[in-house]
Amino acid sequence: MASIVIAEKPSQAQTYRTNIGNRYGEILSARGHLFELMPPDKLRPERWKEWSIGLLREGDEFYPSIFRDADAEKRYREIRERAKKADTIYIATDPDREGEGIGGDIIQQLKRDINWDGRLLRVLPLGEDKKSIEEAFAKAQPAENLRLLYQSYKARSNADHIYNLSLTRSASEALTPKGVRMVVSIGRVLTPAFGIVCRRELAIRNHVPRDYFHPWVQVQGAAGQTKLTHNPGEKGRMFDAAEAQKIADLAKDYKGPITVRKDRGKQQKPPVLFSLSKLQVEASRRFKWPVEKTTDVMQALYETHKVATYPRSMEVSLPEAEIENAPAMFKGILGLPFMAPVSYAQAGPVIRREKGAFSDKDLKGAAHSAIVPNVNTIKDWPAIWQRMNSDEQTLFELIARRYLAAVSPNRVYDATKLSIVLGGKDFSTSGTVEVSPGWHEAMGRAAKEAAGDEEAAEDDAGALPPFNDQDPVQSTGTGLQKLTTKPPPRLTDASILIEMIEAWRQVEDPQLRAILKETEGIGTEATRKDVVVNMKDRGFISLGKGSVVTVTEGGMALYNTLLKYAPKLLDVGMTAELEHMLNSIKSGEAKAAETVNKICQLAQDAIDGLIRAQQDGVILQGLTVKKGGGKPTPAMVMAAKSKAKREGKKSPPSGVLTDFDKCRAYLGELKPRGEGETGPRPASAAQMNFATKIAAEKGLALPDGIEKDSRKVSEWIEQNKGGSGAGAGAASSGPRPASAAQMNFANKIAAEKGLKLPDGIEKDSRKVSEWIEKNKSAGPAANGAAKTYTDGAPSSKSIGFAESIAARKGLEIPDYARKDRVALSKWIDTNK
């Protein structure tokens, strides 16, 4: 008999093959979830094909699973055929609940189809480097150990399927105008998150600026003079100027001692390590990156370059076993190009356990730990750094500096407070003196902005006169500092994630607050950004410059309706209760079916509220996304087919070629038209340059006014790019010169390998492509060593974006660009 390995995705399978070969059996690949829960309209077409108000459930049975698409079915059949001859299966999907679901669903289907009953082992890989993979397979454990985690996954997926679809259909049918077909998305996580956003919006809209006052006194002594202020804090703000002036007058004729309190050697610990959400928020704050960009760049650092650990972690600690790697990590980061020397380099890393960088207790047995540089690729970091693009370098530097700070000494400073007390009112000022910057050195210029630095910022009011305690001073003037209240700041797509993580702040019940703290708020690292996208796509919110969030009028109308008729949907506390129910399955305290029943009852209660809203005549307006967005354009269809082919599929998923919304979601959104823009879109500069180049090569004339219609330019390019020139009378006007990007890539290969480009090759693009294809994987000419040349393969998202450009503009993507991310990036920049 034999064994097989099931990986979660093709790239993971290839990584396994590279690092362990077939040591544990043939490696087969899923493609994420091969199965999905059957849609209601297929399960009960006679009842649920058309949208209606009601709960989409009958009895206690779970929804059956079906193949996601033809490619998923093909992949499963391949696994099934190999499983027939295997007595052992290694499930080596990602080490989280979703990975457990992907592998568990495959095994359950094998048991149904071929009565498979062999030995089942679970591999929990925490990295994609050779050492991590070898250790994970060597420590494979019986899959039975994770049985409850799989049951929790099944209950969660079924509960969300029934809850979200039932309430979305019910809200869409009950609250929108007939015939308009608006989709009102309701979700177990989406809707309470939307409630958080709306409450912030209302706080901003309802804010009325009010002036308030801080009394102050200027005092003079032998050591100098300083201003002392009475600041009672937000709760004690003084809005009455006359009352504030009375307090200022207390100090008008003051003569007496000044109190000096000095805190020597005050210590400040470094900020915590990054989870994905904290990394997304920091990248948004520092670089103004949207959440999706941070996620994509982080994935490249993990999967392509292998210089960072698992990207979707919710944790901010490392296991204590990682302490032994700290010296190598410390030294490796200090050796990176962006690092300046630090004063404590010779002392080595500082190890902090509980509530620090290394803590098994804080991890509580989590499958993943904080996002840090990958210790197993340290020796390759400098070389990999050179291959990264600028965004990848920026994010890797942020992660590396955060780790270095976490193992650096505390910041040490002296804090001084000067004060006098009159009539029970404290007038004071504070300042700090840096003693030792500690981890600030590791953070570089970002240290002053680092998370966790608020304490020092509050203390630091600049240099103070060198008063001694009880030195005599006297008042030389008093007055009022006038300030104005400000509304809370607007959320961004990134700060919404933090609000979801810190959702416990939204509830009063101490038990529910504890649950939300324990579960890291609402949603998961993998799904939170999708919640924000859903709110935007459904027209609930809009994103402005810097991804600043504003609730639309339609969104606010929905919020007010739910607040009146189904308030629990908006209640973060109820989400905590649901999360506790689902987690109880994982711990063995609850049964899956019983938990789903309870969640379905809560959905039914909300549906009853929506029915009351309909009976009261509530009709929502202003929500922009509708069911059935029409057919996709021919260019979108072409791009979708190309993407499917690239992914090894015969065709895109069901509905993509016929439904605009599904096609747009499959491709990723293209740049929208400007507000009020109608009629044909003008051709871009790159499009016209290409058309003009063809015209010059072939002696053709561009039709008058063609530049006003991008589609006509595309059609002209398609018609003439391969044909003969009008004046040449030949089959072709000669070879096309190579592009600058093509020649840059060829020259780079030549320099790397000590080769010489043939004379005049730059005049023929096809010859340059042939030369690149022949030489990019060959060894250097000098020594014949077998060295693979690559600058890294482009991501599927980059290729998809390039193909959408090509489809719109009638261009072709060169083969060399499809295989090298730098070349493809240059092609996109030239043509977009």
- Say how far apart CA 581 and CA 574 lie, in whole Å: 11
SS3 category, 266: strand
Strands (E), 9-143: 26-29, 35-37, 65-67, 86-92, 119-122, 141-142
Structure tokens at 252: 């008008």
- Say how far apart CA 729 and CA 738 lie, in whole Å: 24
Domains of the chain by residue range: 2-154, 157-206+489-615, 211-269+411-484, 296-406, 634-667, 740-831
Closest CA to 743 of 767, 707, 716, 779: 767
Mean pLDDT score, 547-551: 92
Q: Which CATH architecture has domain 157-206+489-615?
A: Orthogonal Bundle (1.10)
Residues 6+ apart with CB under 8 A from 386: none
Burial of 758 (0-12, 13-18, 19+ CB in 10 A): exposed
Residue 504 CA, distance from chain mean position: 21
Structure tokens at 808: 């719109």
Please report where in the chains the tokens 């920091």 appear, as a residue: 282
pLDDT digit string, tens, across residues 475-524: 999 999 999 999 999 999 888 988 998 888 888 888 888 888 777 788 87
Give the count of beta carbons closer than 10 Å to the beta carbon of residue 311. Answer: 22
pLDDT digit string, tens, across residues 386-425: 999 999 999 999 999 999 999 999 999 999 999 999 999 9
Query: What predicted TM-score, i.e. pTM, was given to this entire model?
Result: 0.68
pLDDT digit string, tens, across residues 453-478: 433 344 455 678 999 999 999 999 99
Give the count of beta carbons closer than 10 Å to the beta carbon of residue 257. Answer: 14
Closest CA to 171 of 630, 736, 558: 558
pLDDT digit string, tens, across residues 619-634: 998 786 454 445 666 6
Q: What is the CATH number of domain 2-154?
A: 3.40.50.140
Closest CA to 126 of 139, 143, 145, 107: 139
In CATH terms, 211-269+411-484 corresponds, of 3.90.25.10, 3.40.50.2300, 2.70.20.10, 1.20.1260.10, to 2.70.20.10
Q: What is the pLDDT of residue 106?
A: 97
Structure tokens at 193: 């998150």
CA distances (Å), origin 524, targets 211, 313, 745? 41, 9, 41
Expressed in angstroms, the distance from the first to the final Cα of the chain is: 54
Q: What is the pLDDT of residue 678?
A: 44
Q: Which residue has the higher pLDDT, 127 or 40?
A: 40
Angle between helices 390-406 and 291-299 (to 10 degrees): 80
Q: Which residue has the higher pLDDT, 356 or 333?
A: 333
Q: Which residue has the higher pLDDT, 260 or 732?
A: 260
Checking if the pLDDT of 272 tops 70, the result is yes
What type of residue sits at position 322?
E
Is the distance from CB of 191 to CB of 535 less than 8 angstroms?
no
Is the distance from CB of 394 to CB of 287 less than 8 angstroms?
yes
Mean pLDDT score, 555-568: 96
Lowest mean pLDDT among 368-372, 573-577, 644-648, 746-750: 644-648
Give the count of beta carbons closer than 10 Å to the beta carbon of residue 233. Answer: 6
- Say how far apart CA 62 and CA 484 lie, in whole Å: 57
Structure tokens at 751: 């320099």
Q: For domain 296-406, say whether CATH 1.20.120.50 is its number.
A: no
Structure tokens at 189: 């996580």
Structure tokens at 333: 């980061």
Q: Is the dihedral of CA 352, 357, 363, 367 positive or negative?
A: negative
